[in-house]
Amino acid sequence: MSAYIALADGRVVEGRSRAPGTGRGELVFTTAYTGYEESLTDPSYAEQALTFSYPLIGNYGVREERFESDSVQPRVAVAHEFTDDVADWLEREGIPAIDAVDTRDLVTSIREQGAMRCGVAAGPDATPEQAKAQLEQCVEMSEHTDIGAQVSVDEPQVYEGNGLTVALLDCGAKQSIVDSLTARDAEVHVLPYDSTPEEVAAVEPDLVFVSNGPGDPANFEAAGEVVDEFAGELPIAGICLGQQVVARSLGGETEKMEFGHRGLNQPVRDLETDRVIMTTQNHGYSVADPGELAVTQVNVNDGTAEGLEGVGIDVITRQYHPEANPGPHDSLDFFDDVLEMAENHAPAVASD
């Protein structure tokens, strides 16, 4: 069966339909050669068309225990070759899947022109015109102002523990973030992305944690208001989009990257120790100005901010994914550092 990808640069790429349907989104790529289950269920891929640069996707099957959420998150999946296991999974999920595509050429186009809008049509009756019609309806990521509602919990969820209480603002959190905190005996309250400061305060947290998520951090104003309210009063942590939200709330600025960082092999250098670690990443925006925060880690390839810390306040954020599913595991100590920060936090004392 035929399939077509209509690109914003005017080209139409033909491939093979592995799961029928139409779709649209921002065309991005990941360099990960493993962890396709984690990638396809990562909420940070919402409203995107995910292209795998590794040629064979599905060579070790599909296991639900590896999922980062309860559904496939990208609007479209593209690969050089999908195995039947993955293709069948995507079809059950209603996600158009296309293979038999020169993904090297697609990746090169994204690297040279940036992440771009696309439209897709796949199936027995698919036509280039259907793909083009999808492209015409595709909007830029910054225009998805309600994207948080797509990926966040509707009601608070509690994961019990005997340690510190964490208020996790769910802007599209990966399950492995929750697992990393509960493995350290934290009690985790997963709260909707648009929770108010009063709703956060009601759980009496020892730590406010802003999760990863999709799209433009400027569209997560409620999470920013929570950071504004508690910065200096409670410890604050953030991952990926969470770093961007925290930075914006504390006087910083963010910007859209040309094609983002997505994969398992991004090198990050710690400015204090000069140690380089390999990290998992998935983001299309970055912190351009840290505002009141200090940059503590940078990307070796392009110098973008990968770690921020507070100056006189308890804040630690990371642009990459320290939970490291599916790996590498170089950065797992982030969660120990964050919980230690919360354990040692001294409440602010009002001056006379």
- Joined tokens for residue 121: 């049509």
d(CA 257, CA 284): 5
282 is in an annotated binding site: yes
Is 261 in the active site? no
Q: What is the 8-class DSSP label of residue 141?
A: G
Indicate the SS3 state at residue 79.
coil
* Gap between the terminal Cα atoms of the chain: 75
Q: How far apart are CA 234 and CA 348, in angstroms?
A: 9
244 has binding-site annotation: yes
Indicate if 171 belongs to the active site.
no
**Is 204 a catalytic site residue?**
no
Task: Give the Cβ contact number of residue 114 at 10 Å.
Answer: 18
Q: Are 95 and 72 spatial neighbours (Cβ–Cβ below 8 Å)?
A: yes
Neighbours of 67 (CB within 10 A): 18
Cα–Cα distance for residue pair 221/217, rounded to 1 Å = 8
**Is 213 annotated to bind ligand?**
yes
Q: 172 burial class (0-12, 13-18, 19+ CB within 10 angstroms)?
A: buried
**DSSP β-ladder status, 253-270 and 276-289:** antiparallel
- Tell which residue, 164, 197, 201, 158, has the closest CA to residue 335: 164
Tell whether residue 285 is among the known ligand binding residues.
yes
Q: Who contacts 226 (Cβ-Cβ below 8 Å, separation ≥6)?
A: 169, 195, 196, 197, 200, 208, 210
162 is in an annotated binding site: no
* Annotated binding residue 351: no
DSSP-based three-state secondary structure for 314: coil
Q: Residue 267's beta-bridge partner residues?
A: 278
224 is in an annotated binding site: no
DSSP H or E run through 288:
strand 276-289
- The answer to whether the annotation marks 215 as part of a ligand binding site is yes
Helix-helix angle 221-230:241-249, to 10 degrees: 60
Q: Can you tell me whether residue 204 is helix, strand or coil?
A: coil
Query: Among 240, 283, 306, 309, which one carries the catalytic annotation?
Result: 240
User: Among residues 261, 332, 329, which one has the least CA distance to residue 299?
Assistant: 261
Binding residues, as ranges, are 44, 213, 215, 241, 244, 282, 284-285
Catalytic residues: 240, 321, 323
Q: What residues are designated binding site for L-glutamine?
A: 44, 213, 215, 241, 244, 282, 284-285
